[in-house]
Amino acid sequence: ATPLQIELELVRISDHVSKNTSAGHITAFYRPWEDVRTEKFDGLIITGAPVEQIEYQEVTYWDEMRRILDWSQDNVHRTLTLCWGAMAALHHFHGIPKHALTEKATGVFSHANRVPANPIMRGLPDRFDVPVSRWSELRATDLPSGRGLEVLADSAETGLCLIADPAHRTVHMLNHLEYDTLTLAGEYARDEGRSLPLHYFPGDDPAGEPSNTWRGHGHLLFGNWINETYQ
């Protein structure tokens, strides 16, 4: 939705076989990272994966993920990491551990805008809704001092959400402002109703149709990141 002209390149882990997307689709639209590693990019978005319950070193593509993160420091101007991608980057660059949750954190939660003057947060209200969907968390008490990390947004119910990492020209988002209206409903159905998304269905009744209360916030955040990359 940005007025800036963007050429998008879809990239995948080189040797990983996706369980949730057909091989034909992946081959048709995504290039292996090994094929683009000699190129340079203005921006890089590293998305999440449903592996946050697995130790980093046990993820089959962890070594390549680390190479990609290191590569981004010399070949990408700005990076935005999402969900497990954010956890992985913060662990790789800063040694921050992730902690398993006894129950899945899922739903739409109110978040506080901690640094309204930060260019990434420009125009966002003091409080805004963000979809959350994860089995692990990062804790503010584990953030190392002296590294320049800055908490941009967090929630009293689900903790950290947005962290600025200027030393690595990266913004880390642990949650999901990119979700569509029915993404959480689809995850709830996929998980056979085991983890009800809170504050999402009307009256927390999954028979009701949810309303999207975060769409504008998502457009604004991604637009701010793109604009900062362009500037």
* Residues near 4 by beta carbon (within 8 Å), at least 6 away in sequence: 226, 227, 230
* Residues near 223 by beta carbon (within 8 Å), at least 6 away in sequence: 1, 2
* Residues near 144 by beta carbon (within 8 Å), at least 6 away in sequence: 94, 95, 96
**How many Å apart are CA 18 and CA 7, to the nearest integer?**
24
Facing residues of 159 across strands? Answer: 155
**How many Å apart are CA 174 and CA 137, to the nearest integer?**
8
User: Which residues are catalytically annotated?
Assistant: 83, 176, 178
Give, to the nearest 10 degrees, the angle between helix 62-75 and helix 84-94.
80
Question: Strands 11-12, 150-155: parallel, antiparallel or unpaired by DSSP?
Answer: unpaired
